[in-house]
Amino acid sequence: MKVLTDDQVKAFNRDGYLLVRGNFSNEEIELLGRASREDKAMDQSAAAVDDGKGHPVRLSAWNHPGDGIYGMFARCRRVVDAVEQLLEDEVYHYHSKMILKDARTGGAWAWHQDYGYWYQNGCLFPDLVSVMTAVDRATRQNGCLEVLRGSHKMGRINHILSGEQAGAAMEQVNEAVKRLELVYCELEPGDSLYFHSNTLHRSAQNNSEFPRWTLISCYNARHNDPYKDSHHPRYTPLAKVDDSEVLRVARERFSGNGSGGVDFVDFKKIDKSAKSLSAPSET
Ligand code: SIN
Ligand code: MN
C-alpha cells in the first residue's frame, strides 16, 4: 500500500533521508519506552563499545522481529509499506536495535554509512533502509543523529577500524562536510527518520541529564538477498501486521500477557575471523 506521497519519496531520493513526524502516537511510544527500560534481557545483552573519548556506546540488537511489542513496531504496515515504497521491492527485516544512549554517559557514534558494514555481510547493493524512531526526545544537547544531506549519492566509502569503532575514512568525510549540509535530526518521541544505507551519519556524546534512546529497524530489499551467511539474516519473509497491532500488543505487554519476544544478539559470538571490521557497533 502507498503510505508516502510522491513528494516524500522524491525527498528521500534527493536527501538520503526522510523525516516522518508523529509516526507513532504518544501512547505507543510511551509503552515502548517502558517495555524496553524494564527489559532486563535487553539491558544484559547490550554491547558497550568505547567511543574513543571514554564514554560507552551501548546497543542491543535482534535479528528476527518476533510477535511481541518490538516486533509490532518493526512489522507494522505504516513502516514496512513505506520502506517498500522507498526500495521499490518487497523488503525483509534485516535486524532491529535499541540505541541506549544514557544521560551523562552515552557515547558518540563516529561518521559512518550502514552499508560500510553491511557490504561485508554479502549485500551486493546498498538497497537497505534504516528507520530510526525516537523513544526519548532527541536534541543537539543529548546527541541527536546528524546526517550529511545527499551523501548517499557518494556511494560506499571505505570504513576503517579506529579504536573499538569502525568509521568512514575521514579523507572523504572531511571533503563531504565542506560540500554538503550537516543536518541535526532533532526528534520528538514517536518521530521516525528513514535513511538510506549510504547516508553518512554520526552523533555526539550525551552529556545532558536526558537519556536518548532510539529504536532502529533495518530492512533489506528482497532482490538484495545476501550471497553469503553473516550475523544478520538472509531473505526471510516478513509478515506485516496492521497498524492497530502496535497498540494492542503494547498494552497486552502490561496486562501480563506479553513479552519482548525476541532473541538478542550475543555480540561476543559474532564471527570476527572473516574481517577486520568487526567491532560490535557494526550491526
Ligand atoms: C545513533 O544512534 O546515534 C547512531 C546509531 C547507528 O548508527 O546505528
Ligand atoms: Mn548507523
Most informative mutation of 49, 51, 132 for ligand 1 (most atoms within 8 A of CB): 132
Measured by CA distance, the residue closest to atom 2 of ligand 1 is: 99
| pTM beyond 0.85 | yes
Q: Which strands form 109-112's sheet, in the order they lie side by side?
A: 109-112, 201-203, 145-148, 182-185
Under the banding of pLDDT at 50, 70 and 90, the label for residue 276 is very low
Q: Please tell me the distance from the alpha carbon of residue 92 to that of residue 38, in angstroms, as a whole number.
A: 28
Section 121-131 average pLDDT: 98
- Which pLDDT does position 212 carry in this prediction? 98
Section 155-176 average pLDDT: 93
Residue ranges covered by each domain of the chain: 6-269
Where do we find the cell 572473516? 274
Does ligand 1 lie within 6 Å of residue 115's CB atom?
no
pLDDT, tens digit, 9 for 90 and up, residues 140-159: 999 999 999 999 999 999 99
pLDDT, tens digit, 9 for 90 and up, residues 214-266: 999 999 999 999 999 999 999 999 999 999 999 999 999 988 888 888 999 98
Instruction: Flag whether pLDDT at 279 surpasses 70.
Output: no
Which residues on adjacent β-strands are paired with residue 133? 192, 215
Where do we find the cell 517498500? 84
- Which pLDDT does position 162 carry in this prediction? 80
Instruction: Flag whether pLDDT at 277 surpasses 60.
Output: no
- DSSP secondary-structure letter at 265? P
Tell me the ligand closest to 144's alpha carbon: 1
Strand, helix or coil for residue 106: coil
Does ligand 1 lie within 6 Å of residue 99's CB atom?
yes
Does ligand 1 lie within 6 Å of residue 130's CB atom?
no
- Share the mean pLDDT of the chain: 94
Does ligand 1 lie within 6 Å of residue 195's CB atom?
no
Type of residue at 88? E
Give DSSP secondary structure letters for 168-224.
Answer: E-HHHHHHHHHHS-EEEE-B-TT-EEEEETT--EEE----SSS-EEEEEEEEEEGGG
Q: Are the C-beta atoms of 133 and 215 separated by less than 8 Å? A: yes
Q: What are phi and psi of 162, to 5 degrees?
A: -135, 115
Say if domain 6-269 classifies as CATH 2.60.120.620: yes
Does ligand 1 lie within 6 Å of residue 145's CB atom?
yes
Q: Are the C-beta atoms of 103 and 142 separated by less than 8 Å? A: yes
Q: How far is the CA of 281 from the centre of ligand 1 (A)?
A: 9
Q: Are the C-beta atoms of 85 and 251 separated by less than 8 Å? A: no
All three cell numbers of 279: 567491532
Instruction: Flag whether pLDDT at 281 surpasses 60.
Output: no
Q: Please tell me the distance from the alpha carbon of residue 247 to that of residue 258, in angstroms, as a whole number.
A: 12
Tell me the ligand closest to 281's alpha carbon: 1
Tell me the ligand closest to 98's alpha carbon: 1
Q: How far is the CA of 114 from the centre of ligand 2 (A)?
A: 5
